[in-house]
Amino acid sequence: MQIKETNLKDCFIFEPSIFGDERGYFFESYNKNKFESLINKPVDFIQDNEAFSKKGALRGLHFQEGEFAQAKLVRVTQGAVIDVAVDLRPTSNTFLKHIAVELSAENKKQLFVPRGFAHGYIVISETAVFNYKCDNVYNKSSENGLIYNDRDLNIDWKLSPSLFIISEKDKILPTLKELFK
């Protein structure tokens, strides 16, 4: 497994070592000891989640606050997405910066999104299966988010907005200015 630093502090892309032959391929998608050694800190993932979505489905940008903040290790096992992480940690030197990474079943990349980040993705293939590990439980009262089309972020979602499929809840999330007033 190789680690690539992103332009966001503590946010990393992982690329697995893939071993293939005439039967197919094999790779280690997660190894706690290797993972923690690469990011140089302990992370105790306690829950795995999976979401199936159609092309244009935009989920996010979500985060949990306070004691229920979550770090996530995300990957795609079918299809492709544009995955976005936004640093919302006021003390970080990458505060309010974001990255957008294509994750796909083909490239097998994973993105580590630390606590204190907003996270979301849009499906760019016909369908996609999105998997993620979380280091904390979901808590509805700690749930928050950031509007996907915030002008200050100017995220390139790679699809025409006419193709977006967005939940009613995600359509009314606050802007950065509203979040940090």
3-class secondary structure per residue, 54-116: ECCEEEEEEEECHHHCCCEEEEEEECEEEEEEEECCCCCCCCCCEEEEEEECCCCCEEEECCC
By annotation, the residues acting in catalysis are 62, 132
CA 52 – CA 59 distance, rounded (Å) = 11
Sign of CA dihedral 11, 75, 137, 47: negative
CA–CA gap between residue 78 and residue 52 (Å, rounded): 9
Which residues touch 174 (CB under 8 Å, ≥6 apart)?
145, 146, 147
Half-sphere exposure for 166 (CA within 13 Å, toward CB): 19
Q: Give CA 26 to chain center in angstroms.
A: 24
CA pair distance 178, 181, nearest whole angstrom: 5
